[in-house]
Amino acid sequence: MRKLTTISLLAISLTAAAQTHVIDVNTKKLGAPIQPTMYGLFFEDINYAADGGLYGELVKNRSFEFPDRLMGWEAFGTFEVKDDGPFERCPHYIELRDPRHGDRRSGISNNGFFGIGLHEGEDYRFSVWAKTPQDSARIIVQFIDRATMEEHQEFAEARLTIKGNEWKQYELVLKSPRTIQKAQLRIFLDGKNTVDLEHISLFPVNTFKNRKNGMRRDLAQALADEKPGLLRFPGGCIVEGVDLATRYQWKNTIGPVENRPLNENRWEYSFPYRFFPDYFQSYGLGFFEFFQLSEDIGAEPLPVLNVGMACQFQNWNDESAHVPLDQLQPYIQDCLDLIEFANGPVDSEWGKKRAEMGHPEPFNMKYIGVGNEQWDDMYFKRLEPFVAAIRAKYPHIKIIGTSGPDSEGKMFEKGWEAMRKQKADLVDEHFYRNEDWFLGNAAGKARYGDNCGGLRYENYDRKGPKVFAGEYACHGKGKKWNHYEASILEAGFMTDLERNADVVYMTAYAPLFAHVEGWQWRPDLIWYDNTRMFKSCSYYVQQMYATNKGTHVLTTTMDKQFVAGQEGQDGLFASSVFDKNTGEIIVKVINTSKQTQSVALNLLGLKGEHTARTITLCHDGMDDENTLDNPELITPQEGTILCEAGKKNTILNDQLQQMSFRVYKIK
């Protein structure tokens, strides 16, 4: 290949296409280190993200603890719900008795969460706690398909013998001969002897990492594939609850699953289209599972605990809805105990509980969020004693405060000021905003509306707390959800996060999950029904950043100016990093204009010819989105581009299609 000098190459590209934008990347001088936590995940049990989603349990109301004890079940024959079961905090169970009428049977069937999803050839582990007042009794366990209206609806079946009057757990494995979205689990009495059934559970055997009480494999794998730097849990407003009684209490979520008390989900009453909500938290996916999942997917665990406040939105300015200042101690103790649960030695009170659950090694938790999306003095004064107590006992734990729900403005500033005063290590910012906001906040000039600051993080105080952009997503105007355009604007905005890695330490798109039949908030990163899932375009944008995050920022300019979609830059955004571990220079360029743009990447300090690997997200239909039926309509594509050698540089010429995002990787 012909070798060109920098000057002649630039001259060629500038004459060939007047609008070629030259992006200079200084590959010799490493800028700020990029935190390994930079691109993370935010998990909240909203949109049926836990029960009915990531958590592998397929039976709804498995312990008969929903306020309507048989919600999710249909019972027939002679039965009774009783409340003196073996699990103190989940005392209900069902008794099936002989109906004494010829051929009639007694039994129950469970509808799952919008049906029970099964895959052909997969094994499912059925388990139940049971006893019988007689010597023994038998039950029949079936998968059924009521939709077929066949005489025999069962398509898999097994028998189980229950022995004796002591509660014991029984297990069997059923293979599904078909893939089905909406199966049911039916259990009926086989014979005349009475049986008591409690905590009736059905899991795929093939959960993520094959764990019992594990996660739905495809969904957990999608999390792992993001290579997330952190996992924030359990929310979101769910941390607060609509009132203090329904707040998330982590201590209720550990220990044997059979004895974790049910909680009403904070999002129970917020479905725009479901008038008979049935949204409760079994806590099967509790704090132990959260720490374990974080470990499994290589993410730093970032728990967020209640600061003594019920949901501020729900209880606007109502001081009486929150815990009085002199009664905060149990809440503070919850934080201290959680740190001990995660990190404490096995002979400490809470470390012992972790060890008993199967993880004697510490989880090595480093961060704690105190309060979710809180604001104003009500929050600031409650936070203070938490900070003091955590600092005194665990000085190495990083504390994350919040700046509330606003992305800018008086309340936001007040939040930041308070966090600076209290010396929070990080501040959790939330911004669900429209297209203009996203462009305007990344761009060099505020030309996208009054509310758009421009170069958001360039202007941040470098000495104060660091930023955790803990919940954000571009919410399209005109009822557009997860559409392609939004994801490209998010990609453009994210150059500002990356460029400012010295102050932005963590980020997470939100929310993470949504069941297509049970959502209340959109857009979301990953959607699913009972057997299928798809990743949104925003998922791919997050993944393109997270899997190419590098270790150090590289100074990048365009046409000798700061590069951030400024006037004259034709809607182009760019940022670059170096990855010390792989020796790669990684440049991200986003074309947010409606025209193809020519760019010349000028890699200053890199010599010789190279082949750049590329990853491109590019699509023509701005309102298009991936769907369950067309999950791969918009996915990143890999390619290569030859880079030419200059004297002291390497040049890569490229054409970037309108509204597209390309990552270039050069060794």
Residues assigned a catalytic role: 373
Q: From edge to edge, which strands make up the β-sheet containing 533-535?
A: 513-515, 526-528, 533-535
Output the smallest distance, CB 472 to ligand AHR, in A: 10
Cα(59)–Cα(53) distance, rounded to whole angstroms? 12
Reading the block at residue 24, the tokens are 């200079």
Please pick, from the candidates 23, 38, 41, 44, the single residue that binds ligand AHR as defined by CB under 6 A.
44
Q: Which stretch binds ligand AHR (CB under 6 A): 232-240, 500-508, 536-544, 582-590?
A: 232-240
Angle at 114 between CA 110 and CA 118, to 5 degrees: 75
Query: Of 113, 126, 116, which Cα lies nearest the Cα of 180?
Result: 116
Please pick, from the candidates 189, 230, 237, 244, the single residue that binds ligand AHR as defined by CB under 6 A.
237
Complex with ligand AHR: residue 90 or 510, whichever CB lies closer: 510
The helix/strand/coil state of 218 is helix
* HSE-up (13 A, CA, CB side) for residue 540: 31
Query: Of 402, 474, 411, 471, which Cα lies nearest the Cα of 442?
Result: 474
Output the smallest distance, CB 428 to ligand AHR, in A: 9
Q: Which stretch binds ligand AHR (CB under 6 A): 235-243, 314-322, 354-362, 545-553?
A: 235-243
Q: Which stretch binds ligand AHR (CB under 6 A): 55-63, 130-138, 233-241, 317-325?
A: 233-241
Under rule CB under 6 A, residue 315 binds ligand AHR? no
Strand bridging mode 584-591 / 572-579? antiparallel
Complex with ligand AHR: residue 62 or 430, whichever CB lies closer: 430
Reading the block at residue 123, the tokens are 């094994």
In sequence order, what are the beta bridge partners of 204?
A: 124
Which residue lies nearest ligand AHR, judged by its C-beta?
Answer: 236
Complex with ligand AHR: residue 236 or 571, whichever CB lies closer: 236
* HSE-up (13 A, CA, CB side) for residue 274: 17
Output the smallest distance, CB 510 to ligand AHR, in A: 4
Output the smallest distance, CB 404 to ligand AHR, in A: 10
In sequence order, what are the beta bridge partners of 645?
A: 650
Cα(239)–Cα(282) distance, rounded to whole angstroms? 15
| Residue numbers 384-423 binding ligand AHR by CB under 6 A | 405
Please pick, from the candidates 228, 236, 454, 636, the single residue that binds ligand AHR as defined by CB under 6 A.
236
Complex with ligand AHR: residue 43 or 363, whichever CB lies closer: 43
Under rule CB under 6 A, residue 373 binds ligand AHR? yes
Query: Of 508, 365, 427, 505, which Cα lies nearest the Cα of 42?
Result: 508
What single string gives the DSSP state of each residue in 457-496?
A: GGGS-SSSPEEEEEEEEE-BTTTB-S-HHHHHHHHHHHHH
CB 84 within 8 A of CB 198: no
| Burial class of residue 163 (count of CB atoms within 10 Å of its CB; 0-12, 13-18, 19+) | middle
Complex with ligand AHR: residue 236 or 344, whichever CB lies closer: 236
Under rule CB under 6 A, residue 242 binds ligand AHR? no
Output the smallest distance, CB 433 to ligand AHR, in A: 12
Complex with ligand AHR: residue 278 or 373, whichever CB lies closer: 373
CB 448 within 8 A of CB 437: yes
Cα(577)–Cα(35) distance, rounded to whole angstroms? 12
Complex with ligand AHR: residue 42 or 55, whichever CB lies closer: 42
Output the smallest distance, CB 44 to ligand AHR, in A: 5
Complex with ligand AHR: residue 521 or 573, whichever CB lies closer: 521
* HSE-up (13 A, CA, CB side) for residue 93: 24
Q: Which stretch binds ligand AHR (CB under 6 A): 200-208, 234-242, 382-390, 629-637?
A: 234-242
Please pick, from the candidates 511, 550, 571, 646, the single residue that binds ligand AHR as defined by CB under 6 A.
511
Reading the block at residue 577, the tokens are 């990093």
Please pick, from the candidates 143, 291, 521, 578, the single residue that binds ligand AHR as defined by CB under 6 A.
521
Output the smallest distance, CB 656 to ligand AHR, in A: 32
Q: Which stretch binds ligand AHR (CB under 6 A): 57-65, 231-239, 451-459, 631-639?
A: 231-239
Under rule CB under 6 A, residue 65 binds ligand AHR? no
Complex with ligand AHR: residue 115 or 308, whichever CB lies closer: 308
Output the smallest distance, CB 313 to ligand AHR, in A: 7
| CA dihedral angle for residue 125, residue 129, residue 134, residue 135, rounded to 10 degrees | 60
Q: Where are the beta strands (DSSP E) in 164-285?
A: 168-175, 180-190, 195-204, 230-233, 263-264, 280-281
Cα(22)–Cα(272) distance, rounded to whole angstroms? 49
As a whole number of Å, the end-to-end CA separation of the chain is 18
Complex with ligand AHR: residue 242 or 606, whichever CB lies closer: 242
Cα(228)–Cα(278) distance, rounded to whole angstroms? 31
Output the smallest distance, CB 69 to ligand AHR, in A: 29
Under rule CB under 6 A, residue 428 binds ligand AHR? no
Sequence-separated (6 or more) residues with CB below 8 Å from residue 152: none
CB 599 within 8 A of CB 624: no
Please pick, from the candidates 226, 296, 471, 584, the single residue that binds ligand AHR as defined by CB under 6 A.
471
Output the smallest distance, CB 514 to ligand AHR, in A: 11
Complex with ligand AHR: residue 358 or 409, whichever CB lies closer: 409
Maximum pairwise Cα distance, the chain = 96
The angle, 0 to 180 degrees and rounded to 10, between the axes of the packed helices 287-297 and 329-343 is 40
Cα(91)–Cα(110) distance, rounded to whole angstroms? 19
Output the smallest distance, CB 581 to ligand AHR, in A: 32
| Residue numbers 88-127 binding ligand AHR by CB under 6 A | none
Please pick, from the candidates 25, 46, 180, 577, the single residue that binds ligand AHR as defined by CB under 6 A.
46
**394: Cα separation from own chain's centroid:** 27
Binding mask 542-581 for ligand AHR (x = CB under 6 A): ----------------------------------------
In sequence order, what are the beta bridge partners of 134?
A: none
Under rule CB under 6 A, residue 38 binds ligand AHR? no
Under rule CB under 6 A, residue 235 binds ligand AHR? yes
By CB under 6 A, name the binding residues for ligand AHR: 44, 46, 235-237, 372-373, 405, 430, 471, 510-511, 521
